[in-house]
Amino acid sequence: MTARPLDVLESALEEPVTVTLKDDRSFYGLLLGYDQHMNAVLGVPPEPMETAGTETVENTTIIRGDNVVMIRK
């Protein structure tokens, strides 16, 4: 049985995730919330990510779901 996308997001709440956008930017932060449109709220992660091209969130950040290509743990 495959999980539905929102079920996957539910399991990732309060965990660090990387959100990749249509313009190839990536943001790393703690997934604090989301909605049915895949709008995501990211908070400051416990440890910064040191991957080139990925920006670590420094404040609470809201990402509009229209721009999201991928969210991964």
Q: Show pLDDT as tens, one digit a residue, over the chain (73 residues).
A: 567 878 889 999 999 999 999 999 999 999 999 999 999 999 999 988 888 889 999 999 999 999 999 999 8
CA–CA dist 51, 37 (Å, integer): 27
pTM score > 0.85 for this model? yes
Query: In which region does residue 61 sit, left (phi positive, over 0), alpha (psi from -120 to 50) or beta (all else)?
Result: beta
| Number of domains composing the chain | 1
Calculated CA dihedral for residues 50, 55, 60, 63, nearest 10 degrees: -140
* Tokens 């909605």 belong to residue: 35
Q: Which CATH number characterizes residue 50's domain?
A: 2.30.30.100
Domain range spanning residue 61? 5-72
